[in-house]
Structure 1
């Protein structure tokens, strides 16, 4: 059972007359969320509160807790997919509930909310995200943004049309969302998994905080805070003191103990460096790598063992994290390489399996999971298939 401490702080700010943010903090259950509502006639606070209510009802249900418990016992491919689907489905239901409420009351037309939250399962934090509220991991005093902003400004920046580009006008697009609950027919819920380690801290916050407090300072404030309560309050106080043009909300979660025992720090950092430099994932942002790795499953093989090209009920490719494998033709596959890459492109299984030259540590990726990920997240899918084409030599 994971041991956690958590606290939230919120403030209406200096300009707004009511608070449209909402949050949920349940360290015993291991569930946390922040929502930032939008819409006239106080509809924003209705949308954010409704999102929290629907997700809380779903994530505390018997069926959902059974999925969490099953994943905690054994995080195999099917149980990971089931838990991610349940996490995503709850947020999608909140989207539908907000749209239904808006249709029922004309004064609430156009209301919506962001959603950023996670649930703990078997030593992992399983995230769901839509909008521009943010999640950060603070480790060793350094903050890293885990989520991507679903905004026009972020889209422009990703396309190289952000700050410094000719004709760029930040005031025109500031705060304009491309994705949120209650807005449009369909919401795109990004999901990903982050392995937890003792003394890690997670921060969830609305843009009323991040507008005034940069990533580096978030890490500094949280690292020196004596408790999650003090850290959350310090983040909100900094935002309000520096302008407070919007509601400001922060949730800080401190990991005390993780079950099962986490990967040692030096091994985790080495794995992260290998993945960041690998041909398949090296062209992705850190946030995109997190989303891609939600379908990867750890595997180990002793020296001399055959590495099966069909496993986990599907054709598979393997990202090598440590050790080496020898192909039937004699070539070696080493750390960072992708073994059986053509499996992800729908190619046939090789006639003969590669063998572990040394003990090897791998991440298995099932073909169907890869295709499903690419279809669910089109921008990420394009980058992954481009990288795969380069690896297999099938690209132009």
Structure 2
């Protein structure tokens, strides 16, 4: 029998957002995270409505299939409730929410998941991401078009392909039944954590020998330390003995506050506005796009056009840079050819055009004229000066230097 030894839920608005569109729930058997979308108008409402409805499935079930059916029905019912709310409040059109829910039953768990919130499992020191993001960039990763690292900074990383809301009457939800055992630590989170904190850092904090509440607090703090450009919500569930004492369910985020629509919601939301002197990460509004092959192909084509434009722009910049370097070299070389110096050539005094230095294999000087003055006939001081070269600002000045050397022989 899998017992919930301890659980915790923590949610934070982050450092940039004006209101918290995340919701979290930690109950007796059911745990979930919902991340609302729809901008300032309805993301918080969507996650709150979904959380309140799905929380009604927090109960005991005679079998894992029964638990899975109940959880699936809870998400479907939440989707209908969101659509009904939009019909009654048109200002909320387009709102939706992700949901990642975990129901502990017997020696296993039932997971239902839609969107880009995530479920992780720490078992025997190894951390695994259990859910797969329903996002455009995840499709690109699965298709081998980009890497997971590139997905983190992709311009379409906020495009969701599946959500609950008024966008689809029957959205496809991933549901799975998995085993669990004492010592397992489950973690559910919104992308405010997974999009900021590295997998290795999540593993380190999840592996710490501390309670569920401390782990959740540390994960949220890590997101805040990383700039927290989005709301961040974390739910941690520890499996083991003894079972956790009976406590009231914990609700965090937007679901913890009374629902408010339209103008009535603005005063409450505006109190949450916080200004920051800098924005450490670009904030992108999550939005839904239809999960169809045709539309996916259109996005791929658009992405390819963007990549080609970016390649062309980089090519133009490289050409301009090379042109600037060539122009600078040409101007520099022309300047060197306005200079002269007096030096040695075959044991005699000679006049050179340019400067004595070379630029790698490129010579910056050439012999202009050779005189009849032997270096050996010069005074020791003049010999040293000629051998080291005597700079001249012009050809006339170089000629005057040669005449002075010639006069010194008399």
TM-score by length of 2: 0.56
**2:127 paired with 1:143:** yes
Q: Offset at 1:258?
A: 9.0
Unpaired stretches in structure 2, ≥5 consecutive residues: 244-291, 294-410
Tell me, yes or no, if the aligned pair for 2:115 and 2:133 is still in contact at 8 Å: yes
Structure 1 residues 48 and 234: CA distance shift in structure 2, 3 A: same
Listed one character per residue, the Cα deviations across residues 22-68 of structure 1 (whole Å, up to 9, x for unaligned) are 01101xx21100000011344111100100111112334xxxx3xx1
Which residue in 2 is equivalent to 1:39?
Answer: 38
Which residue in 1 is equivalent to 2:48?
Answer: 49
Count of aligned positions: 244
Query: Secondary structure of 1:224's match?
Result: coil
Tell me, yes or no, if the aligned pair for 2:183 and 2:239 is still in contact at 8 Å: yes
Which residue in 2 is equivalent to 1:199?
Answer: 183
**2:173 paired with 1:189:** yes
Which residue in 2 is equivalent to 1:354?
Answer: none
Distance 1:219 1:204 in 2: 13
**2:161 paired with 1:178:** yes
Structure 1 residues 125 and 257: CA distance shift in structure 2, 3 A: farther
Structure 1 residues 38 and 239: CA distance shift in structure 2, 3 A: same
Structure 1 residues 170 and 226: CA distance shift in structure 2, 3 A: closer
Tell me, yes or no, if the aligned pair for 1:20 and 1:36 is still in contact at 8 Å: yes
Q: Offset at 1:251?
A: 0.7
Structure 1 residues 209 and 169: CA distance shift in structure 2, 3 A: closer
Tell me, yes or no, if the aligned pair for 1:142 and 1:220 is still in contact at 8 Å: no
Distance 1:115 1:107 in 2: 22
Listed one character per residue, the Cα deviations across residues 75-109 of structure 1 (whole Å, up to 9, x for unaligned) are xxxxx433322211111111111111112111100
Which residue in 1 is equivalent to 2:105?
Answer: 121
Query: Secondary structure of 2:24's match?
Result: strand
Which residue in 1 is equivalent to 2:23?
Answer: 22
Which residue in 2 is equivalent to 1:227?
Answer: 211
Which residue in 1 is equivalent to 2:57?
Answer: 58
Tell me, yes or no, if the aligned pair for 1:145 and 1:215 is still in contact at 8 Å: no
Distance 2:107 2:148 in 1: 42
Listed one character per residue, the Cα deviations across residues 121-165 of structure 1 (whole Å, up to 9, x for unaligned) are 111111110000000001122210000000000011111122499
Which residue in 2 is equivalent to 1:99?
Answer: 83
Distance 1:199 1:258 in 2: 11
Tell me, yes or no, if the aligned pair for 1:197 and 1:258 is still in contact at 8 Å: no
Distance 1:40 1:106 in 2: 14
**2:157 paired with 1:156:** no
Which residue in 2 is equivalent to 1:209?
Answer: 193
Which residue in 2 is equivalent to 1:5?
Answer: 6
- Give the root-mean-square deviation of aligned CA atoms: 2.6
Distance 1:253 1:164 in 2: 27
TM-score by length of 1: 0.58
Structure 1 residues 186 and 160: CA distance shift in structure 2, 3 A: same
Larger Rg belongs to: 2
Tell me, yes or no, if the aligned pair for 1:41 and 1:107 is still in contact at 8 Å: no
Distance 2:4 2:161 in 1: 36
Which residue in 1 is equivalent to 2:67?
Answer: 83
Distance 2:41 2:101 in 1: 23
Q: Which has the higher contact order (CA 8 A, sep 6+)?
A: 2
